[in-house]
């Protein structure tokens, strides 16, 4: 079977999680910026995997997906490996505040793998704004969210996601390990926590420890190493002087995104973000 035949048989799938900074709404602007041909694909800041799911029908090789949130990685892995068990476990959850707080209080380490995945998906779909936040001891602490009839188990969506993930290897890894994995000709899409636009923005707090200026610098070092090794990369980040400086010399495009915070009328509307690439 040719690669083209294999890829065209893959189903179109969509993210099964909501994720802060998820790229769903930017995909139309990104479409012309992706490479025409994709062999092996890497996405080291996975989140909900919006870009992976968009590209999965075009990936000719393997996909290497990673993130540093352990439970997120285990959830993806379980959806890939045994989606029917995840669906069965999701069927035990209900949209109800007491149930939410009982499930939130569970220790994920004491759950079966499909139970852990179902808990992660349930908390994501019914917690406040689909946020992922943990306290100092690493326990999930997002409050119950108010929705009208939220869909806890989208069985068909999960089955499609599972089929798309069949080509993926999913690992818990920091982005620093990327140069050891990616090879010449591979394509890497990087969507790190953005550099904050102001000192009061706190969107770097995805995990305890956040993603500070040193992390942005070290990520730029990784991108330069990828470039030196002949790996193609595309990176999303905020439009700040630091990001423009760190990636000077690469192709930098502006895209327009909806603002993450609409705390005041003046804050509404579009905001400029950057896409950096080492290929055109
Ligand atoms: C902006 S989100 C990615 C969103 C994703 N592109 C989507 O569409 O849903 C950034 C992700 O990077 C992960 N992350 C943060 N620091 C990391 C690190 N040092 N190494 C790997 N992943 C990290 C976070 O857990 C989070 O899932």
- Closest atom of ligand 1 to CA, residue 19: 9
Q: What is the pLDDT of residue 269?
A: 78
Mutate which of 47, 212, 220 for ligand 1 pocket (most atoms within 8 A of beta carbon): 47
Q: What's the distance, Cα to Cα, between the start and end of the chain in Å?
A: 30
The pTM assigned to this predicted structure is: 0.92
- Euclidean distance between CA atoms 35 and 186, whole angstroms: 10
- Euclidean distance between CA atoms 223 and 147, whole angstroms: 40
Q: Which domains are assigned to the chain?
A: 3-67+173-277 (3.40.50.150), 80-157 (1.10.1020.10)
Q: What is the pLDDT of residue 205?
A: 43
CB within 8 Å of 98: residues ≥ 6 apart: none
Mutate which of 193, 210, 237, 255 for ligand 1 pocket (most atoms within 8 A of beta carbon): 193
Which three-class secondary structure state does DSSP give residue 257? strand
Using CA positions, which residue lies closest to atom 21 of ligand 1?
174
Mutate which of 67, 73, 203, 236 for ligand 1 pocket (most atoms within 8 A of beta carbon): 67
φ, ψ of residue 126 in degrees (nearest 5): -120, -5
Q: Give me ligand 1 centre to Cα 110, in Å.
A: 25
Q: Extract long-range pairs of 61-64: CB within 8 Å, 24+ residues apart.
A: 61/167, 61/186, 62/167, 62/168, 62/169, 63/167, 63/168, 63/169, 64/40, 64/168, 64/169, 64/171, 64/181, 64/182
Burial 190-212, CB ≥16 within 10 A → b, else e: bbbbbbbeeeeeebbebbeeebe
Using one digit for the tens of pLDDT, what is the confidence trace for 134-166?
Answer: 999 999 999 999 999 999 999 999 999 999 999
- Euclidean distance between CA atoms 257 and 28, whole angstroms: 11
φ, ψ of residue 86 in degrees (nearest 5): -60, -45
Q: Give me ligand 1 centre to Cα 259, in Å.
A: 18
- Closest atom of ligand 1 to CA, residue 24: 8
Q: What is the pLDDT of residue 201?
A: 55
pLDDT confidence bin for 232, thresholds 50/70/90: very high
**Closest residue by Cα to residue 85 from 108, 119, 59, 50:** 119
Q: What is the pLDDT of residue 11?
A: 80
């Amino acid at each position: 079977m040719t690669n083209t035949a294999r890829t065209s048989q893959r189903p179109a799938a969509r993210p099964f999680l909501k994720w802060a900074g998820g790229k769903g709404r930017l995909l139309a602007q990104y479409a012309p910026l992706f490479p025409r041909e994709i062999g092996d694909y890497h996405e080291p800041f996975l989140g909900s995997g919006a870009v992976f799911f968009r590209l999965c029908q075009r990936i000719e090789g393997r996909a290497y997906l990673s993130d540093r949130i352990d439970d997120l990685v285990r959830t993806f892995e379980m959806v890939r490996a045994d989606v029917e068990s995840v669906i069965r476990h999701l069927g035990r959850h209900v949209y109800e505040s007491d149930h939410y707080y009982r499930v939130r209080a569970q220790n994920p380490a004491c759950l079966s793998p499909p139970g852990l995945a179902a808990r992660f998906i349930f908390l994501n779909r019914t917690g406040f704004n689909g946020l992922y936040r943990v306290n100092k001891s690493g326990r999930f602490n997002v409050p119950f969210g108010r929705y009208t009839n939220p869909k806890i188990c989208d069985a068909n969506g999960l089955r499609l996601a599972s089929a798309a993930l069949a080509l993926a290897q999913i690992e818990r890894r920091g982005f620093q390990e990327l140069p050891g994995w990616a090879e010449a000709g591979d394509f890497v899409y990087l969507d790190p926590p953005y550099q904050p636009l102001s000192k009061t923005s706190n969107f770097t707090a995805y995990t305890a420890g956040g993603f500070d200026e040193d992390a942005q610098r070290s990520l730029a070092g990784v991108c330069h190493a990828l470039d030196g090794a002949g790996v193609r990369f595309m990176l999303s980040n905020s439009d700040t002087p630091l990001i423009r400086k760190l990636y000077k010399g690469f192709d930098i495009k502006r895209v327009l995104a909806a603002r993450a915070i609409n705390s005041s009328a003046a804050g509404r509307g579009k905001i400029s973000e950057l896409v950096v690439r080492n290929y055109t």
